[in-house]
A and B are shown apart, each in its own frame.
Chain A
Amino acid sequence: MTRAALAIPETEQAYIDLRKTVTDTFKQLVIEALMLEITAHDIENDTPLFGLGLGLDSIDILELVVGIERHFGITVTDDNMAAFRSVNTVVDFVLSHPEFKGIGHHD
């Protein structure tokens, strides 16, 4: 496998840029809300939020829900808790949420 740059079509690149921004924002949210002594680099995107991964509990998830609603301008309900499996699954949830209009595009 070479490390040469790939040619990425424009549409895919725009999606990657948005996904990366939401991912970085959510990781920072996790670190600040839970006062973790780590950096965003320490969190792999598929790291489980519970168990062997970041070891969060249900109280921590409530903290994150508040942060997600504030940062991304979306509503999170009890029915959405299945999304809280990893950073990537939360980002999937945010990007597919009908109320999500982009970073900073909310009141």
Chain B
Amino acid sequence: MTNIFQPYDGWELAYEAIRQSVGLLHISECWESIDIKGPDTHGFLERAATNTVPHKKIGYTAFCDEDGHLLALAWVVMHAKDAATLYVDKGLGGPLATHLQQVATTHQRDVSVATGCPTGLAIVGPQGLRVIQKVAGDDMIGLPYLGWVNQAIPNVGPSLICRCGLTGEYDYRVLVSPDQMAALAHHIEQVSGPIPTLSPAILSLLHIEMKSVSPAHCPPGMTAVNAGLHGVIGFNKPDFCGKQVLTDQKEGDRYVRMIMLQAKQDHPLVTVDSPDVMFDHQPAGTCVGGGYSPTIGRTVLMAYVHPEVAWPGLSFSIQSNGERIELEAVSSPVFITQSVGIARQHGA
């Protein structure tokens, strides 16, 4: 499994929009949703999710089986004590819903689980804050990262606005009912001027640059700890699916560790002959994704390598079109986005 970003027509403009300005993404093209309802919704999610599920903020969590294998990563919005919605990458909604139904049955939880297709637009990029203020009001400056709010938008109607995302940029997701979509798109254009609508294909490159792991970057059977997802595992929680295995791995001998590799020379890499990553002429790991990063002017790769050599500063190599590409392990994130700079200025 090696997801090397494949350039497509217009990808440079899409990249520039999100890193330098702002772009729109159709939420229905990027994510699926799962609605959880019932009096035991919060308790059920605490049992099923690796991370704590907050009531007033968006939760970000992994879902694993009892062996700690990663099934999905999800944003969680607790609408009320008895209702929540999970947002997961396209294609993962069905399998995760099946798993959650099994957990509910096994642990006799009084909840219903139903998949859905969310509709709305994501406003992504350093100018995202300026746009969302025009769309939904100046108060949006106070919406923190992982904040959400039910908001009536003029000329559109009720909406759920979530600030989340893994690109390192402002990412405001405006969720509306399907019959409000046209009105939302029209309203955004009216108040902000034309904003390009982008293909979700660009997201994979943006995520790789931020070393944002997704299940697509995990070989089958990889656990959340070996995937380096410590930040979304609440090890102090009383219990959750896979806790024993994940805790043992965290404190024991890790099989692999994820690192970011950067090509030492300017070499736009679009294929690799083999995912094998070499250290000092020895197989040391597996490349799982990569792409050419315009911001740093180098190809960056994500790889799982032997933990003894998973340190920034060490040299590795990979084969591409019969040529040996020299790589250096680097610290992540590799750069600070404009959005982060703007957020610090605003204290947002």
By a beta-carbon cutoff of 8 Å, the part of chain A in contact with chain B is 1-3, 5-9, 12, 15-16, 19-20, 37-39, 41-48, 50-54, 58, 82, 85-86, 88-89, 91-92, 95
Contact = CB atoms under 8 A, between A and B. Distances in A.
Interface residues of B, number: 40
A85 B336 contact: yes
B331 A88 contact: yes
B311 A38 contact: no
Q: Which 5 A-B pairs rank lowest in CB-CB distance, beginning with the nearest?
A: A88-B331, A46-B332, A44-B230, A89-B331, A41-B250
B308 A46 contact: no
Given A6-B279, A7-B280, A92-B331, A44 B231 contact: yes
Contacts, number: 95
Given A43-B230, A51-B145, A1 B235 contact: no
A47 B306 contact: no
Interface stretch (B37-45, B84-92, B200-208, B283-291): B283-291
Interface in B239-253: 250-251
Nearest to A53: B231
B54 to A, nearest CB: 12
5 contacts: A2-B283, A3-B255, A45-B331, A46-B259, A50-B340
A6 B310 CA distance: 12
B22 interface: no
Contacts of B285: 1
Interface of B: 60, 145-146, 166, 211, 228-232, 235-236, 250-251, 255-256, 258-260, 279-280, 282-286, 304, 306, 308-309, 311-314, 331-333, 336, 340, 344
A52 B210 CA distance: 12
Nearest to B252: A41
Chain A contact residues: over half helix, strand or loop, or mixed? loop
Contacts of B313: 15, 19, 92, 95
B180 to A, nearest CB: 29
B261 to A, nearest CB: 12
Contacts of A5: 308
